[in-house]
Chain A
């Protein structure tokens, strides 16, 4: 693990059982098929992909809200995956999660003040007498008035609720936050407010993020580095700016071209998007992306490409970037 990594994920796997149809036979869905990445301290690391690619499972498996089947998650050198129940509860103090749906992530029967006070009480962060003051300061830090404490979650708008969710994640003074599509359900102007808030908090508290999103614009804005996921695997990792400006993997390129950009000229260029994401129950042989890939070669149908570093800090799992497959012909995709 490099010195400045706060979180290291190695070969994380998770399979779900799935029954196809009524009386169908059982099948395995490889939601996570051996993903590895590192998040540096103070960094926002992005995980981007389409629905069903496993990015949310990855976020939850990190915290063991979903138990991974195998693989290793290390937080500041301590193993999360092999932690005892008690140790895990202690570790979870340092890693928090913000959810997509600000309506589902707050207990509707709890006053906002109570839901912020509860983690403080459980972990005895402050004395009981100090709780109201701490709750008020949490609310202020996310841009809500202190009176919000005496209301119920349903009295707030989506953006305000997401602020409450963020305040709760900050209550334990965590250093690492998993943001699972935290701004996806919000209107753009509210999304911008929340992104700025997260950025401010990141700077103030030196937070690190695993930022799960499907929006490349948000990825570029918020994350320094990141990975693209497709059918349970990472296909490309590196600095987000490089990935989006010069995508190495054909899937990254396809995502990039399909992303609606607010410019009529580029938005109308004919999009070269072929096919649909195949069923994760029955991923294609070889490279999972080959049926949709404009540059697929016979080799791609047989062998899944290994992730390899092709430029400093940039990794891609694609035969096009493998000199041993391409011989002399390696060039930009």
Chain B
């Protein structure tokens, strides 16, 4: 925890992911599920990691938490969290960080909760497992947390079991557990995807408030550009295991740079206005064993050039946007490898 008077400037980087490469062995060969994953998470901001299924957003999130440890997998590159390198950190040391300073919420609130344990006890367990506090203190903090995530009548609901909660309330419990040790970074993996729209809207606006009040940073993983618009300060768009574009949220929606981001936005049916035609991205996301060596979007890209099929594009800076696409080569110098 930062001391309260140490006001951080908005530019402080709290988590920096550089050239993250997560590989899996299939048969005798290693395949990269992600490569060229670069982004920074700054203090007090929400970064959305957005992309379609199989783009590598969830595995990236697991890698940050040190949870990619199955046999036949390896992680390369760098994940720097407050000056500490997380890639290769032994699990024993990771346990002091995970759940405490780096917390996580999952998509399915039902499976994230123990069905036979009282909700209040689960939250206070999250507190006592990382902090030396008395039972009474843990209970007091639990009730506080339940209140802060807007669970009505926390005193009564403390003794309830998860199945007595609705989906939205369960997700609030999960959020309360994640906040138990006042983490500086919260990783949220599609936390509202299983919820109905009206409940999703409530949880999203509460998450926004909580982030501001608790001075933490959030990495928010989602497949929905609508959710991105609602929560994010900055956005990293992922496609086929790569971060293809990083930009401020307004910029992404106003001036999407990467052809994939552009196509993704054009394929969302709008609630507000009648779109003449949905734009369709032809073809499919390649599977991990067929990821092209050069630009991974080339086969589906409307602006494809010969070079796209020969060489993977580096990061180019266009205004405040970082984009991996040869279209922007002439505009400005490279920023990355």
Contact = CB atoms under 8 A, between A and B. Distances in A.
B156 to A, nearest CB: 17
Interface stretch (B127-135, B226-234, B329-337): B226-234
Contacts of B53: 158, 187
Interface stretch (A69-77, A115-123, A268-276, A293-301): A268-276
Contact of B197 (A187, A195, A214): A214
Nearest to B229: A267
A220 B99 CA distance: 42
Contacts of B255: none
Interface in B195-250: 196-202, 204-205, 208, 223-230, 232, 249-250
Interface residues of A, number: 44
B160 interface: no
Given A189-B263, A189-B281, A264-B250, A220 B269 contact: yes
A159 B228 CA distance: 23
Given A192-B280, A217-B270, A273 B198 contact: yes
B271 A261 contact: yes
B229 A264 contact: yes
A191 interface: yes
Contact of B202 (A216, A241, A266, A271): A271
A276 B268 CA distance: 27
Interface in A189-246: 189-193, 195-196, 214-218, 220-222, 241, 244
A255 B197 contact: yes
A146 to B, nearest CB: 18
B301 interface: no
B166 interface: yes
Q: By CB atoms of chain B within 10 A, which of A222, A256, A258 has the most?
A: A258
B280 A193 contact: yes
A309 interface: no
Given A157-B284, A188-B52, A221-B278, A258 B198 contact: yes
Contacts of A192: 267-269, 278-281
B140 interface: no
Given A218-B269, A271-B205, A273-B201, A196 B52 contact: no
A260 B280 contact: no
A191 B267 contact: yes
Given A188-B52, A216-B271, A260 B198 contact: no
Interface in A133-180: 157-160
B227 A260 contact: yes
B239 to A, nearest CB: 10
A276 B278 contact: no
A254 interface: yes
A252 B308 CA distance: 46
Contacts of B274: 220, 241
B230 A217 contact: no
Contacts of A264: 229-230, 232, 249-250, 253
A217 B269 contact: yes
Nearest to B55: A187
A122 B307 CA distance: 53
Contacts of B281: 189, 192-193
B268 A262 contact: yes
A17 interface: no
B68 interface: no
Contacts of A254: 198
Contacts of B225: 188, 262
B272 interface: yes
A50 B280 contact: no
Contacts of A268: 208, 229-230
B284 A215 contact: no
Nearest to B205: A271
B271 A244 contact: yes
Q: By CB atoms of chain A within 10 A, which of B205, B208, B267 has the most?
A: B267
A257 B200 CA distance: 11
Given A50-B197, A188-B52, A214-B197, A260 B229 contact: yes
Contacts of B14: none
Given A187-B53, A273-B202, A220 B270 contact: yes
B275 interface: yes
Contacts of A160: 284
Contacts of A159: 284
A261 B264 contact: no
Nearest to B266: A192
Given A195-B269, A217-B270, A217-B271, A261 B198 contact: no
Contacts of A256: 271
A215 B278 CA distance: 15
Contacts of A241: 274
Contacts of B269: 192, 195, 215, 217-218, 220-222
16 contacts: A159-B284, A188-B52, A189-B280, A192-B281, A217-B268, A217-B269, A217-B271, A221-B269, A258-B198, A260-B204, A261-B229, A261-B270, A262-B268, A263-B229, A267-B226, A267-B230
Q: Which 7 A-B pairs have the closest CB atoms?
A: A260-B226, A221-B269, A258-B201, A192-B267, A267-B229, A187-B52, A217-B269
Interface of B: 52-53, 166, 168-169, 196-202, 204-205, 208, 223-230, 232, 249-250, 253, 263-265, 267-272, 274-275, 277-281, 284
Interface of A: 50-51, 157-160, 187-193, 195-196, 214-218, 220-222, 241, 244, 254-264, 266-268, 270-271, 273, 276-277
Given A221-B278, A267-B230, 4 more contacts: A220-B270, A241-B274, A262-B225, A277-B196
